[in-house]
Amino acid sequence: MIKPIDLSLSPMLQNKIDNLNKPKGSLGRLESLALQIALIQHSASPVLQHPCHLLFGGDHGIEREGVSASPREVTWQQLINYGKGGGGINMFCRQHHFSLRVIDVGVDHQFDLTENSHITDRKIAYGTKNFCYEAAMSAEEYQRALDIGAEQAEICFNEGCNVLSVGEMGIANTSPSSILMHLLLKLPLEKCVGAGSGLTKSGIRHKYEVLSKAVEKFNRCSNKDDINFIIRYFSGFEMVAAIGAMLKAAEKGMIVLIDGFIMTACALAASKLDPNITGYTVFCHQGDEGGHKLMLEKMNASPLLHLGLRLGEGTGAVCAYPLLQSAVNMLNEMDNFAHANITKYF
């Protein structure tokens, strides 16, 4: 169980922030971010330690319906590429000193783990089933994916990590993300479906039609309102593992960095399982995927960046990390009016 954020230090922390030698509120979003981090750590002098990035990989049965511009094999090819250091997430993790863990939870490929020792093998199956016809995964597979995500977050915590970001690699995973947004926020499906990795207008229309039929079939299920059933019926293994990691990280009191559209959908699902997670999540980036801005608004989430990224992998979350460091440095290193002998003019 995730503990609710203890707000008892809020007045003292806000007073500290307001009395730093700057106009009140002049550092904007950094001030609210500093307050959130300090509340998570229950400290007026928070620290960021050993940031880690978990990247889960998995394939999707729905990909067989032609809902993605990218071919299925890109999932396993990219997981191999991460071992060569050539991915976008590799670059950003190096730049911002994140420890990167790549975990196969459901990729449709048999990896040579001797040649690809960077991949942690937690494969549940060779991709999910096609949710046009049946649930993407069984109840047992769903629980296993949650457990794997929690296991990986705990490994990071035991290494001294208190900032965890989560990313994904799974061709076609904007499709289940759109459906989670649709069902969990009660929004029209057409507002939730976008171009993914580069679909044309006709491709988006086809994707919408495929997903509409899948949802129509799902809505005939007797337990269609059960949150766990919704998640396992549509999600990929990499998405459920991400949900498990987010929940465990918050349980451990870690800051949880949320990336783009897919990880926002996972954070949404996690919040339906335990609403207390919201105090620990920092939404890092608003992407250009159709529906992402709307989903963030409905979740009352204020993203730190809007750079037009749509790569996935968790790149937006890692890119935003320096802003967390700036917020912490502001709280710990800026002087106050009294000590600096500056007239307080408000």
- How far is 128 from 27, CA to CA, in rounded Å? 45
Predicted confidence at residue 53, as pLDDT, reads: 98
What's residue 342's pLDDT? 65
pLDDT at 65: 93
Walk me through the domains of the chain, giving residue ranges and CATH numbers. 52-323 (3.40.50.10210)
What confidence category does residue 134 fall into, taking pLDDT thresholds of 50, 70 and 90? Answer: very high
**Residue 141 designated active-site:** no
Q: What sign results for the dihedral spanned by CA atoms 94, 95, 99, 103? A: negative
Strand 119-121 to 163-169 pairing: unpaired
Q: Once rounded to an integer, what is the mean pLDDT over residues 285-292?
A: 87
pLDDT at 346 over 90: no
Q: Which of 4, 2, 103, 19 is nearest to 338 (CA)?
A: 19
Quickly state the pLDDT bin for 311 (edges 50, 70, 90).
Answer: confident
Strand 99-106 and strand 163-169: pairing? unpaired
Are 186 and 215 in contact, with CB atoms under 8 Å apart? no
pLDDT tens digit string along 33-90? 999 999 999 999 999 999 999 999 999 999 999 999 899 999 999 999 999 998 999 9
Q: What is the pLDDT of residues 161-218, one digit of tens each?
A: 999 999 999 999 999 999 999 999 999 999 999 887 788 888 899 999 999 999 999 9
Question: Do 153 and 249 form a contact (C-beta atoms < 8 A)?
Answer: yes
Phi, psi of 24 (to 5 degrees): -55, 125
pLDDT of 254-273, one tens digit each?
999 999 999 999 999 999 99
pTM of the model: 0.96
125: nearest Cα among 241, 214, 223? 241
Nearest to 239 by CA among 122, 149, 121: 149
| Structure tokens, 248 | 């465990």
Residues 34 and 248: their CA atoms lie apart, in Å, by: 22
Q: Which of 65, 141, 313, 333 is catalytic?
A: 313
Please, which residues have CB within 8 angstroms of residue 11's CB and are 6 or more apart in sequence? Answer: none
Count of residues making up the chain: 346
What pLDDT score does 239 carry?
98
Where would I find the beta strands (DSSP E) of 79-156? 99-106, 119-121
Nearest CA-CA partner of 269 in 281, 254, 252, 285: 281
